[in-house]
Structure 1
């Protein structure tokens, strides 16, 4: 039985859907793509991806590019509307309807169609949703309060510092000012000291990642962005902007290392947080074009 692929990502505009499907460890020549206006299948043994699309696409003008260990689809919608999901989730009945449509169009039904995995999104009632959000926000506030208390001032070299210099928030602001003057090494030193005092503040890692990006310390930028994302939990409105920046900074570092698939995944994660961000939308489109081989790699994010 084939292994169903679930670690894909997708974004959309009113006129198109962009789907990224990883092909890690699989010979791209073995990938078999089958597409109609309502159905998409990618078979790359032992893996299988199938979707009964939410709405019809123009399969004649849609395209796929296989390369860099991924398949990137650009699917053009027949109707300019936003989709609620990538694929229908109507259970077995939806499957039967589309199998009938495939037969009507004289297209042989895929042999492995019985392996389709139908995902149901449980309905969350508004009251329960509000209670859940309040609990997450309270957890985040409590976590931040505890982080501010987690001071480590017992390190010998800190004894000669002034009181404000032992304050991670003061050091963070000093680092921010140094960053604004493009003194990135000095800013990193300020953030380093702040982290030694308190290693639970996510913005210290997020801001240090920005410095490392400027200095082309790309692996360090990835490490700091990842640490920031680790600390930016639970996911609430108060930390949404920081999470978006962490994904963009890590995605930028990946792309500058020419790891475009990983970079695109971070940019798409950022767009899930801030779907209307035009800059991130445009950069994500550039990355897709690079993966598809339609754009040169010599541009800055």
Structure 2
């Protein structure tokens, strides 16, 4: 059962007023006796019109008759009592009683109302503190940025001053190096002027005067600055290299071994462009050579011949078109589609003279796309080829076959989705 003290005392404190009244009551001192208490600050609860002390087995609460300033008020926990010093919200109001007479049935409701108001006030204060903290943090960041900007500006100014001093020093050094000394430059003229105003020497001093004038003529002349160098162009040539990486002595033996293996492999298939004579390094001759290998079903040699011709010129569409046929025969469908695309780019603008070649490119690329699994794209390519050559029956048959394959695939997909 809680121990509820009843014999609390209170008094009003008056201070001199600056207004018309003689005195003004601004605070209430409330003393609640708690012998041998062990209270902590968290055990005391203060609101605008409600006070509470809760620490088992002690419990005490008081509904205030008038509102107070909870932030300005404070509480002192002494050894045998708790002293509240409450600051009034309205200092001009004189309290007749400190406790509000509330019926027992309404105490719980009124207490909840006060607690809700206190909770909202605490939330508002918490938000305000968070906003203030964020503002201070931003202000500190701005100040730090300004300090860093000022430091950078000071450093830049010091560097610029040092740079200007160094440039001025270098300029003075160059002037001293390439400009003659004024004292030395004026020495011969000064000697001559002095000789002009000197009296005529006696007859025995003729040789001495001649020797003095010779010494003046032998004085060193100031050196002129060196002539500007002539501009030129340096031609740099680089040794031929097969690999794209820089040459390294540690990898030279392995690279040579790999190059020899590749050359042997090209000779094994029947063609090696390294063995060609200068008169055979002709794209047309290499195309005919590749066609011969293709007719002999030596597709690797045909690809090597066509590739050698492409290395000589990249604008001959027939080399790409024929190489795509060899790739298609070897089931290199990706390479076949790429060569067909390159050949189509070279077959521009589209005219009647290159129509048959464009038909072959489209039909061959369609076949490669179908083999790669792109059935719809291959079907569209085959339709384009058939429109370019409507008289070719084989193209129409291939279009019909691809259409049936697409319809069958859609039907199977719909059946599988319905089963799921």
Q: TM-score, normalised by structure 2?
A: 0.32
Q: TM-score, normalised by structure 1?
A: 0.45
**Which protein is bigger by CA-based radius of gyration?**
2
- Which structure has the higher relative contact order (CA within 8 Å, separation 6+)? 1
Between structures 1 and 2, the one with greater helix share: 2
